């Protein structure tokens, strides 16, 4: 099992994304679906991060960062 680290800034960004989808787009169902997909990705990253591609950025790739695409968002 691997360790997943989510920074405070990432939590703020995710909160903004969820609020935007739920409030600005007036689509709480889509916001909930996004959260469900995020939870699935977290589980996959903890159990087998190799299923996701490495980042295209050379420095991030050397650090072992992976990228996950959820809807219109890229998580690193």
Tens-place pLDDT, residues 16-65: 999 999 999 999 999 999 999 999 999 999 999 999 999 999 999 999 99
Provide the token pair at 70: 């959820």
Residue 62 lies in a domain: yes
CA distance 6 to 3: 10
Residue 18 lies in a domain: yes
Residue 52 lies in a domain: yes
Residue 1 lies in a domain: no
Q: What is the residue range of 68's domain?
A: 8-75
Does the pLDDT value for residue 1 go beyond 90?
Answer: no
The total number of structural domains in the chain stands at 1
Residue 15 lies in a domain: yes
Q: Do 65 and 55 touch, CB atoms closer than 8 A? A: yes
Query: Residue 65 has what DSSP assignment?
Result: -
Residue 3 lies in a domain: no
Classify the phi-psi angles of 26: left when phi > 0, otherwise alpha if psi is within -120 to 50, otherwise beta: left
């Amino acid at each position: 099992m691997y360790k997943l680290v989510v920074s405070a800034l990432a939590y703020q960004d995710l909160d903004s994304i969820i609020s935007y989808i739920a409030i600005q787009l007036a689509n709480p169902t889509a916001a909930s679906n996004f959260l469900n997909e995020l939870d699935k990705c977290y589980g996959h990253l903890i159990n087998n991060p190799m299923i996701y591609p490495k980042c295209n950025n050379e420095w991030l790739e050397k650090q072992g960062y992976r990228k996950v695409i959820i809807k219109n968002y890229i998580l690193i």
